[in-house]
């Protein structure tokens, strides 16, 4: 894994990519740059990126997860309620690489993280059309994710050698920590398959950052138009991405093993995460069937 490989400058790019950007029509290019700049200049983006540069989440961020806390009993919950001195300035300096208002900003770096197909699809869509807006959202999301990846790879962690950084949980509590710990606590509960990510653990940090900034990881409906059902139909995150057709990249999430449970089959009626009681009943049934199938597969795999 290359989680701390020396990061290249974000301004490096290739000839092929330069061509695809150069080919972007003015309006498409301007809209893209403005959209990325708007998100990057938001307070939540600055605060999120600063924590990556700091190296540890702040107490309130660590507690702001769906299930309790990302690091129970960690001393940061008492001691890390503010960014370390100088971190904000350091983050600002690093983020000048992404400052679209600055002369040195070069949109080319963005092209490193966009496939030619995505650029082509964006370019082919008429401004303000649904296809245009969807591709624009995907481009912005990938840019926001990539800034987090790049910042993490700068290896600025202020806590590497101090008491907060070297603290470890007792054996029986380790399972409550994300699988990326102790390398990083910046990990979204559902996006932690770093062994299959192109940027390894840095991609976990990227998913965490986009969830903080956008309120969730941004996925897309990749199904054919004919097979796409109603907008209010629930798609269970527990199902495989290949089956649901809802994802950004197919490698982003594996199906969870049986040992990790399934929120659909806990037996407790849940009308908070489901649209209605009927919705929960249906999901519960799907969950039980999926687990039965998985159990059979796992059994076959063992034998």
CB 80 to Zn ion: min, Å: 6
CB 88 to Zn ion: min, Å: 11
What is the chain's Cα-based Rg? 21
CB 52 to Zn ion: min, Å: 11
CB 110 to Zn ion: min, Å: 29
Q: Which of residues 164 and 265 has its CB atom nearest to Zn ion in the complex?
A: 164
The CA distance from 125 to 133, in Å, is 9
The CA distance from 117 to 102, in Å, is 28
Neighbours of 231 (CB within 10 A): 6
Q: Which of residues 65 and 84 has its CB atom nearest to Zn ion in the complex?
A: 84
Give the residue closest to Zn ion by C-beta.
84
Q: Which of residues 85 and 301 has its CB atom nearest to Zn ion in the complex?
A: 85
Q: How far is CA 223 from the centre of its chain?
A: 21
Q: Which of residues 17 and 74 has its CB atom nearest to Zn ion in the complex?
A: 74
Sign of the C-alpha dihedral, residues 177, 178, 180, 183? negative
The CA distance from 246 to 250, in Å, is 9
In the numeric block, the tokens 């799907």 are attached to: 286
Q: Which of residues 84 and 263 has its CB atom nearest to Zn ion in the complex?
A: 84
52: its two tokens: 């990556």
CB 162 to Zn ion: min, Å: 9
Q: Which of residues 84 and 100 has its CB atom nearest to Zn ion in the complex?
A: 84
What's the maximum distance between 2 C-alpha atoms anywhere in the chain? 62
CB 152 to Zn ion: min, Å: 15
191, β-bridge pairs: 188
Neighbours of 139 (CB within 10 A): 22
Chain residues in the site for Zn ion (CB under 5 A): 54, 84
């Amino acid at each position: 894994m290359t989680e701390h490989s020396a990061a290249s400058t974000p301004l490096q790019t290739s000839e092929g990519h330069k061509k695809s950007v150069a080919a972007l029509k003015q309006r498409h290019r301007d809209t893209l740059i403005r959209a990325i700049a708007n998100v990057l200049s938001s307070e939540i983006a600055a605060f999120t990126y600063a924590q990556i540069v700091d190296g540890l989440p702040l107490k309130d961020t660590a507690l702001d997860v769906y299930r309790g806390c990302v690091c129970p009993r960690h001393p940061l919950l008492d001691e890390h309620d503010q960014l370390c001195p100088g971190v904000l300035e350091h983050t600002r300096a690093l983020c000048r690489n992404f400052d679209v208002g600055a002369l040195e900003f070069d949109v080319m770096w963005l092209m490193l993280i966009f496939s030619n197909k995505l650029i082509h699809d964006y370019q082919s869509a008429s401004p303000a059309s649904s296809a245009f807006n969807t591709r624009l959202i995907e481009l912005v999301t990938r840019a926001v994710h990539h800034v987090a990846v790049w910042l993490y790879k700068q290896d600025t962690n202020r806590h590497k050698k101090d008491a907060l950084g070297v603290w470890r949980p007792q054996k029986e509590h380790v399972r409550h920590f994300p699988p990326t710990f102790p390398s990083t606590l910046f990990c979204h509960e559902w996006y932690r398959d770093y062994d299959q990510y192109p940027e390894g653990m840095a991609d976990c940090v990227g998913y965490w950052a986009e969830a903080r900034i956008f309120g969730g990881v941004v996925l897309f409906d990749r199904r054919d138009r004919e097979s796409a059902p109603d907008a209010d139909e629930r798609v269970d995150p527990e199902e495989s991405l290949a089956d649901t057709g809802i994802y950004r990249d197919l490698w982003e999430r594996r199906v969870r093993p049986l040992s990790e449970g399934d929120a659909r089959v806990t037996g407790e009626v849940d009308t908070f995460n489901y649209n209605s009681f009927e919705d929960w009943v249906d999901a519960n049934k799907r969950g039980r069937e999926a687990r039965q199938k998985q159990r059979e597969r796992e059994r076959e795999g063992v034998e």
